[in-house]
Amino acid sequence: MPTRNDIRNVAIVAHVDHGKTTLVDAMLKQAGAFAAHQQLDDRMMDSNDLEREKGITILAKNTAVKYHPKDGGAPITINIIDTPGHADFGGEVERGLSMVDAVVLLVDASEGPLPQTRFVLRKALTARLPVILCINKTDRPDARIDEVINETYDLFLDLDADEDQIEFPIVYACARDGVASLTKPENGTVPADSTSLEPFFSTILEHVPAPVYDDAAPLQAHVTNLDADNFLGRIALLRVEQGELRKGQTVAWIKRDGSIQNVRISELLMTEALTRKPAEVAGPGDICAVAGISDIMIGETLADTENPIALPLITVDEPAISMTIGTNTSPLVGKGGSGKGADAKSGAKVDRKVTARQVKDRLDRELIGNVSLRVLDTERPDAWEVQGRGELALAILIETMRREGFELTVGKPQVVTREVNGKTHEPVERLTVDVPEEHMGAVTQLMGIRKGRMDNMSNHGSGWVRMEFVVPSRGLIGFRTEFLTNTRGTGIAHSIHEGYEPWFGALTTRNNGSLVADRAGVVTAFAMTNLQERGVLFTDPGTEVYEGMIVGENSRSDDMDVNITKEKKLTNMRSSTADVTESIVPPRKLSLEQSLEFCREDECIEVTPETVRIRKVVLDQKERGRTASRAKKG
């Protein structure tokens, strides 16, 4: 069968923060993708604000570099897919792998293969894709290249790779300096026999298969991602498997339900570096973008009108975590962070989206481009159950919506269970923890409370211990904050979905109760000085609160209703302690992720563009008391 030797399609997969995006930056620069006078940012592929803030890749993105071989041959287009390293964004990984013919597995020279490395590699091996191993960050002082290579071989064997898949080439790189080599450098050094990524490019050309096609086959193109443009409307990103796709051509659009509709390609775009440019034709193996089909969805096929043949739909893993997202029902709905109806920072009005219709439309829009998400109706018309891969994926969705001006009420994250042989099974995670030896006991105790089962433990002799646990997913809700506290910020923890096991039983993850405001008003410094002995406070003086809002964490296990708006009574009587000043302990500010971890079953989170507040589901103090007494009586 004929092949296209002028093109290669490859995905770069790795664990979070092992250097994927930095490597792609270096490839773009060295392939001459930018003019000499262009101002270049670090991590150019991380175009999303949240990606830059958190330092992770959330959306799979593609770029293309024109590589000019050193022997003077014709230039070769290398399409590169930068995939997320976090398992919560696995839907992006699966779509990215459906577009390529091989993967580059990037592994940190010190940390070695971590849980997300296992996740993305398992997907690649299942898809029968060849692998190129790239050992990155060889210049780290704690690099241990030989051990990391052995751990990677063990991982391949553990994932049942066959002989062909285990015979992979190895490249050693320092992506930050844009240097790669086929010769193993000393630990802690940059490869010395190279000054560029040339060995890496030549390895890609040699080991990534060129796209194969059939001359006589009709057109087949697979939609793998969606984008939007202010002028062109919805854009479908797709890979052409067979035949040719031309601008202005009429094609058969095969939908998810099997129905077929003839549509016209109004615009055809091809990627060069980080920009899309108009093109006339795309052939087999090309990754291109088309406009003109307003309702096209991921996984659908564009085919020949005379002989339409559908490609298989993209399948993703089932969701493991769910939470309820609804409209904001608090007394401060529609008001800013100060409760006065304006943006607390700028004083400018914010376009607030507070109605059920707006929230539902936004969730439906998210479903179009996010295949790993599910939105289910609940008993209430203004709330929906949103299911996703993990806590982080759902937190990113909520953070994106709040930045768009939405006000939401978000429930505590729950696990998605399933029935197996009449018994309830729940999702479990494989948790890998790296901690200094002195914190080993604290972490073991923490995992024991959460019903974690230790699977493996290794000591590299550097004062650090690596432990692997199998733990129920709900045991990890609220785990990270407590873990960082117990390890004094030194511990590193990563987890990945491992499957389903029988229900582990009751779990108690948060021992302390909440301090709940018993009336509406403004927080006073006088009230805070009296209450800070009771626990840790979350609010500043001058903050507006309402009945049922949680203002702190109690030092005891039960909830306590408190008056945090109490004012000091002024009298004309002198006091011996009148001039004694009392200091207020700075309140603990909880981020959105920390609020989700803190939340209990009877609590929820109010999310607005300016603030994140934790509150009771039932705001009325008396009603909560009656419910509690009924529960005690049974």
- The DSSP bridge pattern shows strands 102-108 and 131-136 to be parallel
Asked if residue 138 belongs to a known ligand binding site, the reply is: yes
Structure tokens at 140: 């780290």
The answer to whether the Cα torsion of 518, 521, 523, 528 is positive or negative is negative
Report how far residue 377's alpha carbon sits from residue 364's, in angstroms, rounded to the nearest whole number.
Answer: 12
Reported as type and span, the H/E element at residue 267 is strand 267-272
Three-state secondary structure call for residue 414: strand
| Two structure tokens written together for 491 | 């511990």
Say whether 425 counts as a known binding-site residue: no
Query: Quick one: how many helices (H) and strands (E) in the chain?
Result: 14, 35
In one-letter notation, the amino acid at residue 481 is T
d(CA 530, CA 542): 16
> Is residue 364 part of an annotated ligand binding site?
no
207 is in an annotated binding site: no
Are 100 and 288 spatial neighbours (Cβ–Cβ below 8 Å)?
A: no
Phi-psi region of 581 (alpha: psi -120 to 50; beta: other; left: phi over 0): beta
Q: Are 211 and 220 in contact (CB under 8 A)?
A: no
71 known ligand binder: no
| Residue 136 among known ligand-binding residues | yes
CB atoms within 10 A of CB 357: 10
| Residue type (1 letter), 283 | G
Q: Rounded to the nearest 10 degrees, what angle do helices 479-486 and 440-449 cross at? A: 150
CA 390, 478, 544 angle in degrees (round to 5)? 105
The 10 Å Cβ neighbour count of residue 207 is 17
Nearest alpha carbon to residue 28 among 52, 14, 4, 12: 12
CB atoms within 10 A of CB 5: 12
Task: Name residues whose C-beta falls within 8 Å of residue 65's C-beta, 6 or more positions apart in sequence.
Answer: 27, 28, 31, 33, 77, 78, 80, 273
Query: Do the annotations mark residue 490 as ligand-binding?
Result: no
What token pair was written down for 170? 């190895």
Angle made by CA atoms 180, 50, 540, in degrees to the nearest 5:
135
What is the SS3 assignment for 625? helix
DSSP for 2-46, written as a single string: -B-TTEEEEEEEESTTSSHHHHHHHHHHHTT-S-TT----SSTT-
| Residue 571 structure tokens | 């009298």
Helix (H) or strand (E) holding 64: strand 61-67
The HSE-up count of residue 272 (CA atoms within 13 Å, CB side) is: 9
Catalogue the E-assigned strands of 473-622: 492-502, 514-517, 521-522, 535-537, 544-545, 550-554, 560-562, 603-607, 612-616
Is 195 marked as binding a ligand? no
User: Which residue positions form the known binding site for GTP?
Assistant: 17-22, 136-139
User: Which residue positions form the known binding site?
Assistant: 17-22, 136-139
